[in-house]
A = this chain, B = another copy of it.
Amino acid sequence: MFYFVIDILGTIAFAISGVLVAMNKKLDLFGVFIIAFVTSVGGGTLRDVLIGNTPVTWMQESIYMLIIALTVVFAIIFSNHLHHLRRTLFLFDTIGIGLFTLLGIEKGLTADLSPIMCVALGTITACFGGVIRDILCNEIPIIFRRKEIYATACILGGSSYFLLILLPFDGAYAYVAAIMIIIVVRLMAVKFNITLPNIYGRQKA
Contacts and interface: CB of A to CB of B under 8 A. Distances in A.
Nearest to A155: B30
A116 B37 CA distance: 15
A184 interface: no
Chain A interface residue number, banded: 35 or more
B27 A113 contact: no
A29 B137 contact: no
Interface in A65-92: 65, 76, 79
A128 to B, nearest CB: 9
A137 B145 CA distance: 10
A151 B141 CA distance: 26
Contacts of A147: 28-29
Contacts of A26: 145, 200, 205
Interface string A138-181: 11110111111001100000000000000000000000000000
Query: Which 8 residue pairs spanning A and B have beta carbons closest together?
Result: A31-B144, A52-B54, A28-B147, A51-B55, A29-B196, A59-B117, A138-B140, A27-B144
Given A31-B140, A31-B145, 17 more contacts: A26-B205, A27-B144, A28-B144, A28-B147, A28-B199, A29-B147, A29-B197, A29-B199, A31-B144, A34-B144, A45-B50, A52-B52, A59-B113, A60-B117, A65-B116, A138-B139, A138-B140
